[in-house]
Amino acid sequence: MAANGISCHNVMTKVKDEKEQTFEELLENLERNVTSLESGEVPLEEALRLFEEGMKLSKVLRSRLVKAEEKIRKLVKSSDGALELRSLDGKAVEEDSDDDEEYD
């Protein structure tokens, strides 16, 4: 069992079930990792593992946010009920626009 009380089996299970976890659960895992790292009381090997896991969680969370933003853009209705493609700031967007460059 690791110093933080998480066995290797639990870590593997958590990684395996990542796709099944909600955004909020993944964010909670990331926050827990950050708190552990910020405490300064984690041994080096554990700190490296937590950092690596945190980077993976961050990538998954960012991907889910981008997908959610894309979905929101596609689902906005105009005042007359017609569907319009709009950015999150309310500006009309052309369908071939590539606003995702800011996420690179």
Domain count within the chain: 1
Q: What is the pTM of this model?
A: 0.58
Residue 13 lies in a domain: yes
Residue 46 lies in a domain: yes
Query: If we measure between CA atoms, which residue out of 61, 1, 10, 9 comes closest to residue 34?
Result: 61
Give per-residue pLDDT as tens, 55-78.
999 999 999 999 998 887 777 666
Structural domain including 70 reads 8-103
Residue 1 lies in a domain: no
Average pLDDT over residues 15-26: 81
Residue 3 lies in a domain: no
